[in-house]
Each structure stands twice: as C-alpha cells, then as structure tokens.
Amino acid sequence: MSGRSTERHVVVLTGAGISAEAGLATFRDAGGLWEGHRPEAVATPGAWARDPEMVWRFYQQRRAGLLAVEPTVAHRALAEFERTAAANGIGFDLISQNVDDLHVRAGSQPISMHGQLFELECERCGSRVVDREHVDPAVFVPCSACGLERLRPAVVWFGEVPRHLERIEQAVLKATEFVCCGTSGAVYPAAGLVAAARGRGARCWMQALEPPDNLDPLDRFVPGNATEALPAILEELLR
C-alpha cells in the first residue's frame, strides 16, 4: 500500500440538487418546495405546535412522493466510488443534507445531517421508527411505544441542531478533497463545511446548476446536471 493513497480522504456533501433528476423538487430552485410553502411556515417546531395538520400534510406528501422515485446515476456513482476508493486505500465520507433515502437505496451509508423522511419520532418518549407505509396526508401515526397521538417527522427543522456534528467534524478534518453536489450553500452549518476543509488545504469541487452562495475562487465549479457532472468528478478523483 502506498503512503500517498492512505492519506487521501474524499468527502462529498450532497443537497437537494442530486435528487432533482429523480423527480424530487429542490428547495430554492424555480418550482422548489418552498415556493408554495414558506419554509418557516412548515419546517419549524413552532409550526408543528401551532398547526400540526398542515405540517403533517406537507411531510406526508413528501413521504408519498419519495416512494415513487428511484436513485439516479449520480447516487449510484457515489456508492460505486466508495467501493473503489476503499479498494484503493482512499478514505471516504458521504454527508447529506437530504431527507430522502436515495443514497441508502443506491448502496451508500450517508451521514444524514438533516434526518430522514421515512423515520418518525415521538416527542414524548423519544422512540423512533422507520415507517414507509403510512403516507395518508390526513391521518397521524400514533406512537406504538407510549400511545402519544402523533409522531413527528424525524427531520431537522429550522432552529434545531443538525445530527452527527461530531462525525461530520472528524470527516472534514480528514478531507484532502471535498466535493459539494446539488447544494445552494445557503443553509448553515452545512454550507460552512467546505470552507473548513478548504482552510485546511483540501481541494474543492462545487457541482450545481448555478454557482453556490459559498463558492470560492479557488474551487472548481462544475455546472450541469449531477447525473453527468458528478460521475466525471469522481472519475477524476480516481485518476
């Protein structure tokens, strides 16, 4: 095993854009989720407390929509890259802001910093369940452990702390190459990870339709669809 290869560590951060071609709307592009629904109106603990029916309807539509789509070439390329990188002694971490499970279905094990749509959790007893069956927008799912009448989506809402921040910090500290794919760089702390990696000397690629808010002149910006651009970046990383 060569000394150089064991020192390399590739970190990929994905956002809604990597799932756009699967058919899932992004948050901030034209036609994005938040156009019809202001984010602060649906994705906050306060909204859930004030109007749980509206918030539940919104998330149940997202959950039902997710059942109807499949991972794309971009999701599968990341899973394949992870296997090839491991075989070549290159470290790898996939961090995702996405609450869809398309990375998992493609064969990756992402660090899901904003939670998962198919998980529900109980605000009273803390139990968490995987639920792909109950997607009726008008029917709450009760807690089978303690009987509370409605579980909440196990996603991180505005004002809540993202998950796995210690693991994410460890990944960023190790990064020699950092790739952002399909994220506008508008929501922190996720948007700050690339700056932390860059500050430690990592080479950075930014892949999206438009230059992201957190693009730096030193970064390689690769415009275009993730299904074409991401596999090309990953191939370059293996050359």
By the criterion CB under 6 A, which residues form the site for ligand OAD?
A: 15-17, 20-21, 26-29, 32, 39, 43, 97, 114, 156, 182-184, 186-187, 208-210, 212, 225-226
Q: Please, what is the minimum distance in Å from the beta carbon of residue 87 to ligand OAD?
A: 27
114 is catalytic: yes
At closest approach, how far in Å is the CB of 145 from ligand OAD?
Answer: 26
CB of 135 to ligand OAD, least distance (A): 19
Sign, Cα dihedral of 181, 185, 191, 192: positive
Would you say 20 or 106 has its CB closer to ligand OAD? 20
Determine contact, residues 17/11, Cβ cutoff 8 Å: no
Give me the phi and psi of 43, to 5 degrees please: -110, 50
Q: Which is nearer to ligand OAD, 90 or 114 (CB)?
A: 114
Q: Return the structure tokens found at 141.
A: 């799912």
Nearer CB in complex with ligand OAD: 90/155: 155
Report the candidate in 93, 90, 68, 67 with the shortest Cα–Cα distance to residue 78: 93
SS3 sequence, 19-84? HHHHCCCCCCCCCCHHHHCCHHHHCCHHHHHHCHHHHHHHHHHHHHHHHCCCCCHHHHHHHHHHHH
Active-site residue among 9, 75, 114, 134? 114
Q: How far is the CB of 226 from ligand OAD (least distance, A)?
A: 4
Indicate the residue among 176 and 227 with the shorter CB distance to ligand OAD. 227
The answer to whether residues 235 and 228 touch, using CB atoms and an 8 Å cutoff, is no
Tell me the residue number closest to ligand OAD, measured at CB: 17
Q: Which residue has the tokens 């709307």?
A: 25
> CB of residue 179 vs ligand OAD: minimum separation in angstroms?
12
Q: How many CB atoms lie within 10 A of CB 84?
A: 14
Nearer to ligand OAD, 129 or 209 (CB): 209
117's tokens = 């749509």
- Any idea which residues carry the catalytic annotation? 114
